[in-house]
Amino acid sequence: MRLPWSFIFLFFTACCSEGSDVFELGDSDFDQGTAGHETMLVEFFAPWCGHCQRLAPEYETAATKLKGKVPLAKVDCTVNSETCERFGVNGYPTLKIFRNGEEAESYDGPRTADGIVSYMKKQAGPSSVALLSGADLDSFVDNYEASVVGFFSGDDSAQLAEFLNISSALRDSYRFAHSTDLGTGLKHGVDGECVLLFRPPHLNSKFEDSMVKYTESVLIPSFRTFIRDNVFGLCPHLTTDNRVHLKGSDLLTAYYNVDYIRNVKGTNYWRNRIMKVATQFQDRGLSFAVADRQEFQDELEEEFGLGLSEGGEIPIVTIRTRAGHKYSMQEEFTRDGKSLERFLEDYFANKLKRYVKSEPVPVSNDGPVKVVVADTFEEIVNDPEKDVLVEFYAPWCGHCKNLEPKYKELGEKLSGDPNIIIGKMDATANDVPPNYDVQGFPTIYFVPSGQKDQPRRYEGGRDISDFISYLKKEATNPLILNDSRDEL
Protein backbone atom coordinates (compact mmCIF):
# COMPACT_ATOMS: atom_id res chain seq x y z
CA MET A 1 0.00 0.00 0.00
CA ARG A 2 1.34 3.46 -0.91
CA LEU A 3 1.29 5.80 2.09
CA PRO A 4 0.23 9.43 1.54
CA TRP A 5 2.97 12.08 1.67
CA SER A 6 1.43 13.76 4.73
CA PHE A 7 1.76 10.54 6.72
CA ILE A 8 5.36 10.03 5.58
CA PHE A 9 6.24 13.62 6.50
CA LEU A 10 4.73 13.45 9.95
CA PHE A 11 6.45 10.14 10.63
CA PHE A 12 9.78 11.51 9.41
CA THR A 13 9.42 14.66 11.52
CA ALA A 14 8.53 12.69 14.63
CA CYS A 15 11.60 10.50 14.17
CA CYS A 16 13.92 13.43 13.60
CA SER A 17 12.53 15.28 16.63
CA GLU A 18 12.51 12.36 19.04
CA GLY A 19 12.48 13.67 22.59
CA SER A 20 11.29 17.09 21.47
CA ASP A 21 7.86 18.45 20.64
CA VAL A 22 9.35 21.19 18.44
CA PHE A 23 9.42 20.27 14.74
CA GLU A 24 12.75 20.88 12.98
CA LEU A 25 12.33 22.34 9.49
CA GLY A 26 14.86 23.29 6.83
CA ASP A 27 15.27 24.42 3.25
CA SER A 28 14.21 21.05 1.84
CA ASP A 29 11.00 20.53 3.79
CA PHE A 30 9.87 23.93 5.08
CA ASP A 31 7.01 24.46 2.62
CA GLN A 32 5.61 20.95 3.08
CA GLY A 33 6.04 21.15 6.84
CA THR A 34 4.08 24.37 7.25
CA ALA A 35 1.45 23.68 4.59
CA GLY A 36 -0.06 20.82 6.53
CA HIS A 37 -1.08 22.99 9.48
CA GLU A 38 -3.79 25.59 9.80
CA THR A 39 -1.65 27.55 12.27
CA MET A 40 2.02 27.08 13.15
CA LEU A 41 4.57 29.13 15.07
CA VAL A 42 8.10 29.03 13.62
CA GLU A 43 11.28 30.20 15.34
CA PHE A 44 14.18 31.22 13.13
CA PHE A 45 17.33 30.93 15.24
CA ALA A 46 21.10 30.58 15.38
CA PRO A 47 22.69 28.14 17.85
CA TRP A 48 25.26 30.71 19.02
CA CYS A 49 22.60 33.36 19.81
CA GLY A 50 22.26 33.99 23.57
CA HIS A 51 18.64 35.14 23.28
CA CYS A 52 17.84 31.94 21.36
CA GLN A 53 19.50 29.83 24.05
CA ARG A 54 17.41 31.50 26.74
CA LEU A 55 14.23 31.04 24.72
CA ALA A 56 14.88 27.35 23.94
CA PRO A 57 13.55 25.75 27.17
CA GLU A 58 10.51 28.06 27.22
CA TYR A 59 9.80 27.26 23.57
CA GLU A 60 10.12 23.53 24.21
CA THR A 61 7.78 23.67 27.21
CA ALA A 62 5.24 25.67 25.18
CA ALA A 63 5.43 23.11 22.36
CA THR A 64 4.63 20.32 24.79
CA LYS A 65 1.68 22.20 26.27
CA LEU A 66 0.34 23.05 22.80
CA LYS A 67 0.85 19.56 21.40
CA GLY A 68 -2.18 18.54 19.38
CA LYS A 69 -3.45 22.14 19.25
CA VAL A 70 -0.83 24.40 17.66
CA PRO A 71 2.50 22.99 16.44
CA LEU A 72 5.76 24.83 17.08
CA ALA A 73 8.70 24.54 14.73
CA LYS A 74 12.21 25.91 14.43
CA VAL A 75 14.67 26.61 11.62
CA ASP A 76 18.43 26.80 12.16
CA CYS A 77 19.42 29.75 9.98
CA THR A 78 23.11 28.85 10.05
CA VAL A 79 22.40 25.80 7.87
CA ASN A 80 19.13 26.88 6.19
CA SER A 81 20.01 30.32 4.92
CA GLU A 82 17.73 30.11 1.86
CA THR A 83 14.56 29.82 3.93
CA CYS A 84 15.66 32.47 6.41
CA GLU A 85 16.53 34.93 3.65
CA ARG A 86 13.20 34.25 1.93
CA PHE A 87 11.31 35.37 5.01
CA GLY A 88 13.50 38.39 5.70
CA VAL A 89 15.12 37.10 8.89
CA ASN A 90 17.84 39.52 9.95
CA GLY A 91 17.98 38.97 13.70
CA TYR A 92 17.65 36.11 16.16
CA PRO A 93 15.39 34.77 17.36
CA THR A 94 12.70 35.79 14.87
CA LEU A 95 9.29 34.22 15.38
CA LYS A 96 6.57 34.15 12.72
CA ILE A 97 3.07 32.72 12.52
CA PHE A 98 2.18 30.68 9.42
CA ARG A 99 -1.31 29.70 8.29
CA ASN A 100 -1.63 26.82 5.82
CA GLY A 101 1.94 27.33 4.70
CA GLU A 102 1.72 31.08 4.17
CA GLU A 103 3.39 33.67 6.38
CA ALA A 104 0.57 35.42 8.29
CA GLU A 105 2.25 37.79 10.72
CA SER A 106 5.18 38.30 13.04
CA TYR A 107 4.89 36.93 16.55
CA ASP A 108 4.99 39.86 18.98
CA GLY A 109 3.86 38.04 22.10
CA PRO A 110 5.63 37.01 25.32
CA ARG A 111 8.77 34.88 25.29
CA THR A 112 7.79 32.72 28.27
CA ALA A 113 6.24 29.26 27.95
CA ASP A 114 2.90 30.27 29.48
CA GLY A 115 2.86 33.47 27.44
CA ILE A 116 3.49 31.61 24.19
CA VAL A 117 0.77 29.09 25.04
CA SER A 118 -1.78 31.78 25.86
CA TYR A 119 -0.92 33.81 22.76
CA MET A 120 -0.99 30.88 20.33
CA LYS A 121 -4.23 29.43 21.68
CA LYS A 122 -5.84 32.66 20.52
CA GLN A 123 -4.27 32.19 17.10
CA ALA A 124 -5.66 28.70 16.63
CA GLY A 125 -9.04 28.16 14.97
CA PRO A 126 -11.46 31.00 14.20
CA SER A 127 -10.77 34.47 15.57
CA SER A 128 -14.30 34.53 17.00
CA VAL A 129 -16.02 31.41 18.37
CA ALA A 130 -19.60 30.82 17.21
CA LEU A 131 -21.96 30.30 20.17
CA LEU A 132 -25.11 28.27 19.55
CA SER A 133 -26.69 28.28 23.00
CA GLY A 134 -26.72 29.87 26.41
CA ALA A 135 -24.65 26.93 27.65
CA ASP A 136 -22.02 27.71 25.04
CA LEU A 137 -21.96 31.31 26.27
CA ASP A 138 -21.58 30.29 29.91
CA SER A 139 -18.72 27.95 29.02
CA PHE A 140 -16.92 30.57 26.93
CA VAL A 141 -16.98 33.37 29.52
CA ASP A 142 -15.92 31.02 32.34
CA ASN A 143 -12.29 31.71 31.53
CA TYR A 144 -9.15 33.11 33.14
CA GLU A 145 -9.20 36.00 30.65
CA ALA A 146 -11.83 38.55 29.69
CA SER A 147 -14.31 37.71 26.93
CA VAL A 148 -15.78 39.94 24.20
CA VAL A 149 -19.07 38.53 22.91
CA GLY A 150 -21.15 40.01 20.09
CA PHE A 151 -24.86 39.33 19.54
CA PHE A 152 -26.27 39.86 16.05
CA SER A 153 -29.58 39.45 14.24
CA GLY A 154 -28.31 37.02 11.61
CA ASP A 155 -25.43 35.80 9.47
CA ASP A 156 -26.03 38.63 7.00
CA SER A 157 -25.60 41.36 9.63
CA ALA A 158 -23.16 44.10 8.57
CA GLN A 159 -22.29 44.49 12.24
CA LEU A 160 -21.29 40.82 12.44
CA ALA A 161 -19.03 41.14 9.39
CA GLU A 162 -17.17 44.05 10.96
CA PHE A 163 -17.05 42.31 14.35
CA LEU A 164 -15.29 39.36 12.69
CA ASN A 165 -12.82 41.71 11.01
CA ILE A 166 -12.01 43.32 14.34
CA SER A 167 -11.67 39.96 16.09
CA SER A 168 -9.21 38.85 13.42
CA ALA A 169 -7.11 41.99 13.90
CA LEU A 170 -7.15 41.80 17.72
CA ARG A 171 -7.16 38.04 18.28
CA ASP A 172 -3.65 38.09 19.75
CA SER A 173 -4.81 40.40 22.57
CA TYR A 174 -8.43 39.47 23.37
CA ARG A 175 -10.88 36.55 23.25
CA PHE A 176 -13.90 36.92 20.94
CA ALA A 177 -17.13 35.00 20.42
CA HIS A 178 -20.42 35.76 18.65
CA SER A 179 -23.99 34.53 18.32
CA THR A 180 -26.62 35.12 15.65
CA ASP A 181 -29.37 34.14 18.09
CA LEU A 182 -30.20 37.11 20.31
CA GLY A 183 -31.92 34.72 22.70
CA THR A 184 -28.54 33.26 23.62
CA GLY A 185 -27.83 36.38 25.64
CA LEU A 186 -31.34 36.92 26.98
CA LYS A 187 -30.39 36.37 30.64
CA HIS A 188 -27.76 39.09 30.28
CA GLY A 189 -30.24 41.66 29.05
CA VAL A 190 -29.61 41.25 25.31
CA ASP A 191 -32.63 42.57 23.40
CA GLY A 192 -30.95 43.75 20.21
CA GLU A 193 -27.59 43.79 18.47
CA CYS A 194 -24.87 44.59 21.00
CA VAL A 195 -21.55 43.49 22.44
CA LEU A 196 -20.97 42.31 26.00
CA LEU A 197 -17.57 42.39 27.65
CA PHE A 198 -17.30 39.81 30.45
CA ARG A 199 -14.51 40.20 32.95
CA PRO A 200 -12.81 37.02 34.26
CA PRO A 201 -14.95 35.35 36.96
CA HIS A 202 -12.05 35.16 39.43
CA LEU A 203 -11.76 38.96 39.29
CA ASN A 204 -15.44 39.66 39.97
CA SER A 205 -15.86 42.24 42.71
CA LYS A 206 -18.62 44.28 44.30
CA PHE A 207 -16.69 47.41 43.36
CA GLU A 208 -17.33 47.08 39.62
CA ASP A 209 -19.69 45.37 37.20
CA SER A 210 -18.64 41.93 36.03
CA MET A 211 -20.04 42.72 32.58
CA VAL A 212 -20.10 45.87 30.45
CA LYS A 213 -22.53 46.44 27.56
CA TYR A 214 -21.74 48.20 24.28
CA THR A 215 -24.76 49.15 22.14
CA GLU A 216 -23.24 51.49 19.56
CA SER A 217 -22.14 50.41 16.09
CA VAL A 218 -19.01 48.26 15.92
CA LEU A 219 -18.33 49.99 12.59
CA ILE A 220 -16.93 53.05 14.37
CA PRO A 221 -13.48 53.39 16.04
CA SER A 222 -15.02 53.83 19.48
CA PHE A 223 -15.64 50.07 19.64
CA ARG A 224 -11.94 49.34 19.84
CA THR A 225 -11.58 52.09 22.43
CA PHE A 226 -14.42 50.47 24.41
CA ILE A 227 -12.55 47.16 24.51
CA ARG A 228 -9.23 48.75 25.44
CA ASP A 229 -10.72 50.88 28.23
CA ASN A 230 -12.85 48.16 29.81
CA VAL A 231 -11.16 44.81 29.28
CA PHE A 232 -8.93 45.03 32.35
CA GLY A 233 -11.40 46.66 34.69
CA LEU A 234 -10.60 48.79 37.70
CA CYS A 235 -7.77 46.66 39.10
CA PRO A 236 -6.44 43.87 36.86
CA HIS A 237 -3.95 41.16 37.70
CA LEU A 238 -0.67 42.39 36.21
CA THR A 239 1.68 39.70 34.88
CA THR A 240 4.90 39.74 32.89
CA ASP A 241 2.85 38.56 29.90
CA ASN A 242 0.01 41.11 29.91
CA ARG A 243 2.00 44.13 31.10
CA VAL A 244 2.56 45.27 27.50
CA HIS A 245 -1.17 46.06 27.29
CA LEU A 246 -1.04 48.15 30.47
CA LYS A 247 1.85 50.34 29.36
CA GLY A 248 1.11 53.91 28.43
CA SER A 249 -0.62 54.89 31.66
CA ASP A 250 0.43 56.06 35.10
CA LEU A 251 0.16 52.84 37.06
CA LEU A 252 -0.15 52.04 40.77
CA THR A 253 0.74 48.43 41.50
CA ALA A 254 0.28 46.55 44.76
CA TYR A 255 2.68 43.61 45.05
CA TYR A 256 1.95 40.72 47.39
CA ASN A 257 1.37 36.96 47.26
CA VAL A 258 -1.03 36.97 44.31
CA ASP A 259 -2.08 33.40 43.50
CA TYR A 260 -5.31 32.91 41.57
CA ILE A 261 -4.72 29.18 41.24
CA ARG A 262 -4.32 28.05 44.86
CA ASN A 263 -5.50 31.04 46.89
CA VAL A 264 -8.25 33.00 45.15
CA LYS A 265 -9.91 34.10 48.39
CA GLY A 266 -6.67 35.34 49.97
CA THR A 267 -5.64 37.12 46.80
CA ASN A 268 -8.94 38.94 46.50
CA TYR A 269 -8.88 39.86 50.19
CA TRP A 270 -6.18 42.45 49.50
CA ARG A 271 -7.35 43.28 46.00
CA ASN A 272 -10.79 44.29 47.31
CA ARG A 273 -9.16 46.67 49.78
CA ILE A 274 -7.16 48.23 47.00
CA MET A 275 -10.25 48.50 44.78
CA LYS A 276 -12.21 50.19 47.55
CA VAL A 277 -9.63 52.99 47.60
CA ALA A 278 -9.23 52.97 43.81
CA THR A 279 -12.90 53.85 43.34
CA GLN A 280 -12.18 57.21 45.00
CA PHE A 281 -9.36 58.07 42.57
CA GLN A 282 -10.25 56.24 39.34
CA ASP A 283 -11.15 59.39 37.41
CA ARG A 284 -7.82 61.13 38.04
CA GLY A 285 -5.71 59.51 35.33
CA LEU A 286 -4.15 56.74 37.43
CA SER A 287 -4.56 53.04 36.69
CA PHE A 288 -4.41 50.31 39.33
CA ALA A 289 -3.20 46.70 39.36
CA VAL A 290 -2.17 43.86 41.64
CA ALA A 291 0.84 41.66 40.92
CA ASP A 292 2.65 38.73 42.44
CA ARG A 293 5.68 39.95 44.37
CA GLN A 294 7.78 36.88 43.52
CA GLU A 295 7.11 37.27 39.78
CA PHE A 296 8.38 40.87 39.81
CA GLN A 297 11.00 40.55 42.54
CA ASP A 298 13.99 41.26 40.30
CA GLU A 299 12.30 44.38 38.99
CA LEU A 300 11.34 45.57 42.48
CA GLU A 301 14.92 45.21 43.65
CA GLU A 302 16.37 46.78 40.51
CA GLU A 303 13.98 49.72 40.16
CA PHE A 304 12.82 50.40 43.74
CA GLY A 305 15.42 48.78 45.98
CA LEU A 306 12.74 46.59 47.58
CA GLY A 307 13.80 43.11 48.69
CA LEU A 308 11.71 40.04 49.49
CA SER A 309 11.71 40.92 53.18
CA GLU A 310 9.92 44.18 52.42
CA GLY A 311 6.24 43.91 53.25
CA GLY A 312 5.95 40.19 53.96
CA GLU A 313 2.33 39.21 53.38
CA ILE A 314 1.31 42.86 53.35
CA PRO A 315 1.13 44.56 49.92
CA ILE A 316 3.92 46.93 48.95
CA VAL A 317 2.78 49.73 46.68
CA THR A 318 4.56 51.60 43.90
CA ILE A 319 3.60 54.12 41.24
CA ARG A 320 5.35 54.33 37.88
CA THR A 321 4.38 57.17 35.55
CA ARG A 322 4.55 57.39 31.77
CA ALA A 323 7.29 59.98 32.18
CA GLY A 324 9.41 57.42 34.04
CA HIS A 325 8.97 58.85 37.54
CA LYS A 326 8.75 56.33 40.38
CA TYR A 327 7.28 56.45 43.86
CA SER A 328 6.93 53.84 46.61
CA MET A 329 4.63 53.90 49.63
CA GLN A 330 6.72 54.14 52.80
CA GLU A 331 3.89 53.62 55.28
CA GLU A 332 2.81 50.02 55.85
CA PHE A 333 -0.37 49.06 54.04
CA THR A 334 -3.23 49.07 56.59
CA ARG A 335 -6.22 46.78 56.33
CA ASP A 336 -8.65 49.70 56.36
CA GLY A 337 -6.92 51.21 53.33
CA LYS A 338 -6.28 54.55 55.06
CA SER A 339 -2.53 54.39 54.43
CA LEU A 340 -3.15 53.93 50.71
CA GLU A 341 -5.57 56.87 50.73
CA ARG A 342 -2.94 59.08 52.34
CA PHE A 343 -0.32 57.93 49.84
CA LEU A 344 -2.60 58.80 46.90
CA GLU A 345 -3.62 62.13 48.36
CA ASP A 346 0.05 63.07 48.72
CA TYR A 347 0.75 61.82 45.19
CA PHE A 348 -1.94 63.97 43.60
CA ALA A 349 -0.88 66.93 45.77
CA ASN A 350 2.71 66.53 44.45
CA LYS A 351 4.01 65.98 47.97
CA LEU A 352 5.80 62.70 47.35
CA LYS A 353 9.52 62.43 46.82
CA ARG A 354 10.41 60.50 43.70
CA TYR A 355 12.38 57.33 44.12
CA VAL A 356 15.63 57.52 42.20
CA LYS A 357 18.11 54.66 42.06
CA SER A 358 21.54 56.15 42.58
CA GLU A 359 25.06 55.14 43.44
CA PRO A 360 26.58 56.97 46.41
CA VAL A 361 27.86 60.45 45.65
CA PRO A 362 31.64 60.19 45.12
CA VAL A 363 33.68 61.54 48.05
CA SER A 364 36.17 62.95 45.58
CA ASN A 365 35.32 63.88 42.00
CA ASP A 366 38.33 65.83 40.78
CA GLY A 367 39.29 63.65 37.82
CA PRO A 368 39.24 64.84 34.20
CA VAL A 369 36.01 62.89 33.66
CA LYS A 370 33.38 63.77 36.24
CA VAL A 371 31.50 60.82 37.73
CA VAL A 372 27.77 61.47 37.54
CA VAL A 373 25.26 59.56 39.69
CA ALA A 374 21.50 59.98 39.70
CA ASP A 375 21.61 62.12 42.85
CA THR A 376 24.08 64.54 41.25
CA PHE A 377 22.67 64.57 37.72
CA GLU A 378 20.82 67.82 38.32
CA GLU A 379 23.85 69.48 39.87
CA ILE A 380 26.40 68.41 37.24
CA VAL A 381 24.66 67.74 33.93
CA ASN A 382 21.89 70.32 34.36
CA ASP A 383 24.24 73.07 35.55
CA PRO A 384 22.78 75.96 33.51
CA GLU A 385 26.20 77.58 33.06
CA LYS A 386 28.00 74.54 31.64
CA ASP A 387 28.06 72.59 28.41
CA VAL A 388 28.18 68.89 29.29
CA LEU A 389 29.17 65.81 27.29
CA VAL A 390 27.92 62.81 29.24
CA GLU A 391 28.53 59.15 28.49
CA PHE A 392 26.06 56.51 29.70
CA TYR A 393 27.94 53.23 30.04
CA ALA A 394 27.80 49.73 31.52
CA PRO A 395 30.78 48.30 33.44
CA TRP A 396 30.64 45.04 31.46
CA CYS A 397 30.42 46.72 28.04
CA GLY A 398 33.44 46.02 25.82
CA HIS A 399 32.86 49.10 23.64
CA CYS A 400 32.75 51.25 26.79
CA LYS A 401 36.08 49.80 27.97
CA ASN A 402 37.63 50.53 24.59
CA LEU A 403 36.36 54.11 24.74
CA GLU A 404 37.54 54.75 28.30
CA PRO A 405 41.17 55.81 27.64
CA LYS A 406 40.16 58.09 24.77
CA TYR A 407 37.34 59.61 26.80
CA LYS A 408 39.72 60.20 29.71
CA GLU A 409 42.23 61.88 27.39
CA LEU A 410 39.42 64.09 26.06
CA GLY A 411 38.61 65.09 29.64
CA GLU A 412 42.28 65.91 30.26
CA LYS A 413 42.47 68.08 27.14
CA LEU A 414 39.41 70.05 28.28
CA SER A 415 40.09 70.06 32.02
CA GLY A 416 41.22 73.70 31.86
CA ASP A 417 38.05 74.87 30.11
CA PRO A 418 35.73 76.34 32.76
CA ASN A 419 32.72 76.22 30.43
CA ILE A 420 32.55 72.50 29.68
CA ILE A 421 32.27 69.23 31.63
CA ILE A 422 33.13 65.77 30.37
CA GLY A 423 31.10 63.30 32.45
CA LYS A 424 30.10 59.65 32.63
CA MET A 425 27.35 57.73 34.38
CA ASP A 426 26.90 53.99 35.02
CA ALA A 427 23.46 53.47 33.53
CA THR A 428 23.10 50.06 35.15
CA ALA A 429 23.47 51.43 38.69
CA ASN A 430 21.65 54.75 38.30
CA ASP A 431 18.27 55.80 36.95
CA VAL A 432 18.64 57.53 33.61
CA PRO A 433 16.40 60.62 33.26
CA PRO A 434 13.37 59.90 31.05
CA ASN A 435 14.33 62.37 28.32
CA TYR A 436 17.51 60.43 27.58
CA ASP A 437 17.01 57.41 25.32
CA VAL A 438 19.62 54.87 26.38
CA GLN A 439 19.08 51.52 24.67
CA GLY A 440 22.69 50.43 24.24
CA PHE A 441 26.18 51.24 25.48
CA PRO A 442 27.93 53.54 25.29
CA THR A 443 25.33 56.23 24.59
CA ILE A 444 26.61 59.80 24.60
CA TYR A 445 24.68 63.05 24.86
CA PHE A 446 25.72 66.68 24.54
CA VAL A 447 23.76 68.98 26.87
CA PRO A 448 24.36 72.65 26.06
CA SER A 449 24.13 75.39 28.66
CA GLY A 450 20.78 77.13 28.73
CA GLN A 451 19.11 74.21 26.91
CA LYS A 452 19.05 71.50 29.52
CA ASP A 453 15.64 70.28 28.38
CA GLN A 454 17.03 69.58 24.88
CA PRO A 455 19.86 67.04 25.19
CA ARG A 456 21.39 66.13 21.82
CA ARG A 457 22.46 62.58 21.09
CA TYR A 458 26.06 62.37 19.91
CA GLU A 459 26.29 60.25 16.75
CA GLY A 460 29.87 61.04 15.70
CA GLY A 461 33.08 59.03 15.75
CA ARG A 462 34.81 57.82 18.91
CA ASP A 463 38.32 59.22 18.35
CA ILE A 464 39.49 62.28 20.30
CA SER A 465 39.63 64.32 17.10
CA ASP A 466 35.99 63.44 16.39
CA PHE A 467 34.89 64.67 19.80
CA ILE A 468 36.94 67.85 19.53
CA SER A 469 35.57 68.65 16.05
CA TYR A 470 32.01 68.12 17.28
CA LEU A 471 32.47 70.29 20.37
CA LYS A 472 34.07 73.09 18.35
CA LYS A 473 30.84 73.30 16.36
CA GLU A 474 28.33 72.75 19.17
CA ALA A 475 29.87 74.28 22.29
CA THR A 476 28.34 77.52 23.55
CA ASN A 477 31.81 79.08 24.03
CA PRO A 478 35.09 78.58 22.14
CA LEU A 479 36.98 75.56 23.44
CA ILE A 480 40.09 75.94 25.55
CA LEU A 481 42.44 72.99 25.07
CA ASN A 482 45.20 72.17 27.52
CA ASP A 483 47.76 71.37 24.84
CA SER A 484 47.64 74.91 23.40
CA ARG A 485 45.83 76.87 26.09
CA ASP A 486 44.57 78.95 23.17
CA GLU A 487 40.97 79.65 22.39
CA LEU A 488 40.03 77.87 19.17
Please identify which of the residues 15, 16, 52, 194 carries the catalytic annotation: 52
* One domain for residues 421 and 338: no
The string of pLDDT tens digits covering residues 123-176 is: 888 889 999 999 999 999 999 899 999 999 999 999 999 999 999 888 888 899
pLDDT, position 2 = 39
The answer on 181 and 286 residing in a single domain is no
Largest CA distance in the chain: 94
Domain boundary, last residue among 89, 105, 123: 123
Domain boundary among 230, 252, 286: 230
Q: Of these residues, 77, 84, 194, 400, which one is catalytic?
A: 400
Annotated active-site residue 397? The verdict is: yes
Give the domain extent around 178. 128-230
**Has 194 been annotated as catalytic?**
no
Q: What is the CATH number of the domain that holds 267?
A: 3.40.30.10
Say whether both 460 and 427 belong to one domain.
yes
Bridge-based pairing state of the strands 147-151 and 128-130: unpaired
CA–CA distance from 191 to each of 51, 195, 220, 229, 376 (Å)? 52, 11, 21, 24, 63
| The last residue of a domain, from among 92, 123, 154 | 123
CA-only gyration radius of the chain, Å:
28
Cis bond leading into 442, ω under 30°? yes
> 15, 16, 49, 194: which is the annotated catalytic residue?
49
User: Does some domain include residue 353?
Assistant: no
52 is catalytic: yes
Active site residue 400: yes
Helix, strand, coil share (%) of the chain residues, nearest 5: 35, 20, 45
Please tell me the distance from the alpha carbon of residue 392 to that of residue 445, in angstroms, as a whole number: 8
Is the same domain home to 57 and 154?
Answer: no
Angle at 448 between CA 443 and CA 451, to 5 degrees: 110
Residue 181 CB contacts under 8 Å (≥ 6 apart), including other chains: 132
Main-chain phi, psi angles of 179, to 5 degrees: -140, 140
Question: CA-CA distance, 153 to 159, in Å (whole number)?
Answer: 9
**Residues 6 or more apart in contact with residue 252 via CB below 8 angstroms:** 278, 286, 287, 288, 289, 317, 318, 319, 344
Q: Sheet containing 456-457: give its strands across.
A: 370-371, 420-426, 387-393, 443-447, 456-457
Which residues contact residue 194 at a Cβ distance below 8 angstroms, ignoring those fewer than 6 apart?
150, 151, 185, 213, 214, 215
pLDDT tens-digit series, residues 443-478 = 999 999 999 999 999 999 999 999 999 999 999 999
**Model-level pTM greater than 0.85?**
no
pLDDT tens per residue, range 278-334: 999 989 999 999 999 999 998 898 888 887 665 457 999 999 998 889 999 999 999
Query: Which has the closest alpha carbon to 238: 279, 196, 289?
Result: 289
The rounded distance, in Å, linking the Cα atoms of 194 and 160 is 10
The total of structural domains in the chain comes to: 4
How would you classify residue 450: left for phi > 0, otherwise alpha for psi between -120 and 50, otherwise beta? left
- pLDDT for res 14: 39
CB 325 within 8 A of CB 434: yes
Residue 479, domain member (yes or no): no
Residues 144 and 116 in one domain: no
Q: In terms of pLDDT, which residue wins out, 205 or 308? A: 205
Each residue's pLDDT tens digit, 232-252? 999 999 998 788 777 778 999
Return the pLDDT at 333.
94
Evaluate if residue 486 carries a pLDDT over 50.
no
Whether 344 and 394 map to the same domain: the answer is: no
Give 298-360 as a 3 state SS string: HHHHHHHCCCCCCCCCCCEEEEECCCCCEEECCCCCCCCCHHHHHHHHHHHCCCCCCCCCCCC
Q: Measuring CA to CA, which residue among 421, 424, 410, 423 is closest to residue 482?
A: 410
